[in-house]
Amino acid sequence: MNILIVDDEEVLQDILTVLIRKEGHTPFNAVTGEDGLAILEREEIDLVLLDLMLPGMHGMEVLREIRRRDPDLVVVVITAFSSIESAIEAMREGAFHYIPKPFKNEEVLLTVRKGLEQRRLTSENRSLKEQLRQRFAFDNIIGKSKPMQQVYELIQLAAPSKSNILVLGESGTGKELVAKAIHHHSRRSDGPFVTVNSGSMPADLLESNLFGHMRGAFTGAIASKKGLFEMANGGSIFFDEIGNIPLDTQAKLLRVIQEREFMRVGGLETIRVDVRIIAATNADLDGAVQQGSFREDLFYRLNVITVTLPPLRKRTEDIPLLAQSFLSHYARENEKAIRAISPAAMELLLDYHWPGNVRELENAIERAVVLSTGEVLTEELLPASVRQREAAGAPPPPLPPNGFAFKEAVSEYERQIIIRALQSCGGVQKRAAELLQVKPTTLHEMMKRLNISSESVVSS
């Protein structure tokens, strides 16, 4: 690693340079604070050995400037034994450690090793956070839970194929985001992505929008118009709520899938297209087929690869990630100072059942940000539905006729609550204790009694 030595005493420069080289690191030397800062401008430095008593710019000023430029850079200050007060002040300013003069070589080496280890851990932590950010935010689809990891994997496998895809999930789970992710990771990513709002158009208007029309084809058709299929040529067309398409239109859609061609409304010319269909629905298409409201042959043409999105209530460990992401987004958009969510508010978010899924959570966070006046999102900023859910409390389980082991049931309930709190806090016990409103020592004893470890919770 690269170590900068800032000291105006030539003898100490020589001693420290020899020690650094023997450890296998590269030394950089400066006799003034100004020279040291200039080296930091052009070199990647991992640790600084900084004498406080320097000519010109005082060592304390140099330390403050280093901390301003790179708060993670490890700085070890060197000071005369009579100036220990200055060393303590340097520690308050963010120095990693101090070494009094005269020093022992082994003391210097031990401090340097510890400082470089912290630098390495900080660098690894930053790298891991970036990896986690990329892994848990796949094309704006956020989630670290196992069901969402499976969705990411399926998208990556299915996207490059030519097959049609059916996206299933309750309203508000993010089906259109998945459709866009599939398109952007496909070979058609340079082509258009066209959305059809299948559930909000009358049948005649839907056909005109899908296939286009010729001039004079119907009253008001004063000019010929391209349809959405033509506009999507070479790309993907996304049918939102495809279960609502009328049977007559379903037959024409099936022809496009099978023959890759269609005619505009009122037209005689056959138009060929190359389009991938991605369809989504929150309806039971199997049931619709049985009832005769959805064509079986169209269902099988669409249902080549199925991506099923879990409801938010089945991936509660993703709620902190989602909530913080929405908070950051709407804070920037509304120029608000709010940056964090209080433990009590997060507990309400985790306990609520979210019938509107991710969309409802996003709306709740946006509302809270708009109404906020401080830096923390507190429980009173959340919608009444979320707060009332907590007030109502969960009903106790039914009591079996033969009774049950009360102590074991209570222990299991405690275990599940603690595991959920740890998962929501990334395994950090202090934060989990705040969330549960208990002392960290109390939580530690409970985890010990219930045989729970932070590592197993986070990795599970």
Lowest mean pLDDT among 120-124, 152-156, 277-281: 120-124
Q: Over the Cα atoms of the chain, what is R_g?
A: 31
Q: How many other CB atoms sit within 10 Å of the CB of residue 267?
A: 16
**Angle at alpha carbon of residue 67, lines to 127 and 76, rounded to 5°:** 90
pLDDT of residue 450: 87
* pLDDT above 80 (res 459): no
Per-residue pLDDT tens digits for 361-371: 999 999 999 99
* pLDDT above 80 (res 352): yes
Region 348-362 average pLDDT: 92
Mean per-residue pLDDT of the chain: 85
Asked whether the beta carbons of 97 and 114 are under 8 A apart, the reply is: yes
pLDDT of residue 457: 64
Asked whether the beta carbons of 327 and 341 are under 8 A apart, the reply is: yes
Which ranges of 303-439 would DSSP assign to H, the alpha helix? Answer: 319-333, 343-351, 357-371, 384-392, 406-424, 429-436
Measure Cα distances from 311 to 314, 319, 333, 358, 361 in Å.
6, 11, 27, 8, 12
Asked whether the beta carbons of 423 and 436 are under 8 A apart, the reply is: no
Per-residue pLDDT tens digits for 384-436: 888 875 444 445 556 666 677 777 778 888 888 888 778 767 677 887 887 78
Query: What are the backbone dihedrals phi and psi of residue 46, each rounded to the nearest 5 degrees, phi first?
Result: -100, -25
Per-residue pLDDT tens digits for 132-185: 555 545 667 888 888 999 999 999 999 999 899 999 999 899 999 999 999 988
Task: Read off the tokens for 201.
Answer: 């158009």
Q: For strands 141-142 and 137-138, give the pairing.
A: antiparallel
Handedness of CA 114, 119, 123, 125 (dihedral sign): positive
Lowest mean pLDDT among 39-53, 79-93, 164-178: 79-93
pLDDT of residue 54: 87
Rounded CA separation 166/179 (Å): 9
* pLDDT above 80 (res 85): no
Asked whether the beta carbons of 241 and 201 are under 8 A apart, the reply is: no
From 390, 383, 348, 353, select the one nearest 368 (Cα to Cα).
Answer: 383
* pLDDT above 90 (res 319): yes
Q: Is 358 exposed, middle or buried (0-12, 13-18, 19+ CB in 10 A)?
A: buried
Which ranges of 159-311 would DSSP assign to H, the alpha helix? Answer: 175-184, 203-211, 228-231, 247-259, 285-291, 296-302
Rounded CA separation 171/179 (Å): 14
Per-residue pLDDT tens digits for 9-18: 888 899 999 9
pLDDT of residue 405: 78
DSSP state of 317: G
pLDDT of residue 301: 93
Region 25-46 average pLDDT: 90
- Amino acid making up residue 16: L
Q: Considering the chain, what percentage of its residues have pLDDT values greater than 90?
A: 35
pLDDT of residue 443: 87
* pLDDT above 60 (res 63): yes
**pTM score, two decimals?**
0.56
pLDDT of residue 346: 93
* pLDDT above 90 (res 4): yes
pLDDT band at 203 (very low <50, low <70, confident <90, very high): confident
Rounded CA separation 326/314 (Å): 19
DSSP state of 311: P
* pLDDT above 70 (res 212): yes
pLDDT of residue 81: 60
Region 281-302 average pLDDT: 90
